[in-house]
Amino acid sequence: MTIREGTAWSADLGGGARIALVQAGTFRSDAGTLFGPVPRFMWQGLVADEIDANGSLLQALNCLLVETPGGRVLVETGIGERSDEKMRERRGIQGPPVLPALRSAGFDPGTVDVVALSHLHFDHAGGLLAQDGSAAFPRARVAAQRMEWEFALGDNPRLQASYDQGELRLIEQAGWAGAVDGEAELVPGVTAIRTGGHSGGHQAVVIRGRDRTVGFFGDLFMRPWSANPRWVTSFDDFPLTSVEVKVGLFRRAVEEGWTVVLSHEADTPVGRLRADRDRYRFEPL
Ligand SMILES: [Zn+2]
């Protein structure tokens, strides 16, 4: 099965590699938390059009479908479909979760070979499970960092809040079996790179076709303003690491002309990075 038009964005990367962005619904996050250490006067103008009366912003759940001659990779799974009504309301969850979103893009979830997750926070790993708690991608390797599983199922109360441990335990066995250590090629042309920062075992995913490379930096680069390496969220568990690894990844993306896809941007999720004084700037395609 090939990727049909009608997805949010798709591109031919050359050499038989194709990529499509599939948005698995949206949720809402507190704006102040998203801007972390940045004072309000510096960011309020950027979100004046989208902030609501509760001070929250719309966050898309961006997933990537990658088709290569060596296999099909899904990057990220969103929140999934197992949240109860109370949770849906509290987190402002709307729109189709990953399984129906994939199907309407013409993609059979049963044919995914690898599910790569930037990290295991609830809004990235929730879609690993179907509504009945079984594996949503039954034949797929679950490729998150081994270190991320250790952090996710650990007992540090500061780190636990962003992980849904009960849900992760349902898929834990596949998680350990498919886990990645450091940098690894998942299928030819698709590489996971451990970064840490946003979470202890966070990873970036780089997709290389013959003609074009796409970088997906997970929640190190969720919205356009995250292009400033020092603008990290309060959700970042290891913020100083985030700043350091963002500088390295962004420099590489500029030098090698990568297309980048943002993890939580609804309207302009695809673009390029440009160097800008002591920081970077995101330019939508
Ligand atoms: Zn996230």
Which pTM value belongs to this model? 0.96
24 assigned to some structural domain: yes
* Total domains, the chain: 1
58 assigned to some structural domain: yes
285 assigned to some structural domain: no
**Ligand 1 centroid, distance to 60 Cα (angstroms):** 9
**Ligand 1 centroid, distance to 71 Cα (angstroms):** 26
75 assigned to some structural domain: yes
191 assigned to some structural domain: yes
Closest C-alpha to 52, from 82, 94, 83: 94
pLDDT, one tens digit per residue, over 2-18 is 444 456 899 999 999 99
How are beta strands 203-208 and 9-14 bridged, if at all?
A: unpaired
Q: At 196, which CATH number?
A: 3.60.15.10
**Ligand 1 centroid, distance to 2 Cα (angstroms):** 28
In the predicted model, residues of the chain with pLDDT beneath 50 are 1-5
pLDDT at 56: 97
pLDDT at 7: 64
2 assigned to some structural domain: no
pLDDT at 2: 46
What's the CA gap between 102 and 106, in Å, rounded? 7
54 assigned to some structural domain: yes
1 assigned to some structural domain: no
Query: Residue 274: which domain range?
Result: 9-278
Give Cβ neighbours of residue 67 (< 8 Å, ≥ 6 apart). 2, 3, 17, 18, 19
**Ligand 1 centroid, distance to 15 Cα (angstroms):** 31
pLDDT at 241: 98
The H or E element containing residue 147 is helix 146-152
pLDDT at 8: 80
